[in-house]
Amino acid sequence: QDATSLAGRGLPPFPLLAMTRAVALSLALALGLLFGDSWRRVAAEVNHKTRGIELDGRGDFEGSIAAFREHTLELPEDPSGWMNYGVALMRQGTRVGARDPLVKALEVFERALTMGGNVQETRENINVLKANMKHMFPDMECPANVCGADAARA
């Protein structure tokens, strides 16, 4: 039965998406113990990636960067994890006007691009990042991998 029919009987709806992160993580870990490595991905997704998304939504870019970094360490083959890590770095670098997180974001996006996943979205993020770098640091030497070989200044 679906959640609507259960609610009509006086039972509260309990769809999987409404589960708390802790309950979902516990379930994923328990299933991992029972069913092996295929659930390792689910546990990491619920734990690090979901946490990173939550923190990013609250504006805690440092926290989201740490969570996405942990996700990429646990699941280095996940291109969307690398994409999220790059977006968090780009937001932090743009917010504080720091070049290092932006350069790191480009490296992360390039890694995601080589892995497949959503190639169009990755390229769009790279283009936004390059435009931000050119705008934010017009007088600084711009590395060829950021601005392109023709745009690099000595």
Tell me the per-residue pLDDT of 64-90, one tens digit each, with 9 for 90 and over.
Answer: 999 999 989 988 888 988 999 999 999
What phi and psi, each to the nearest 5 degrees, are found at residue 71?
-60, -45
pLDDT at 122 over 60: yes
Write the CB contacts of 108 (distance below 8 Å, at least 6 apart in sequence). 82, 83, 85, 86, 89
The pTM score is 0.65
d(CA 151, CA 154): 10
Identity of residue 40: R
- Which comes out higher in pLDDT, residue 5 or 140? 140
Cα 125 versus chain centre, distance: 12
Average pLDDT over residues 125-140: 87
Give me the count of residues in the chain: 154
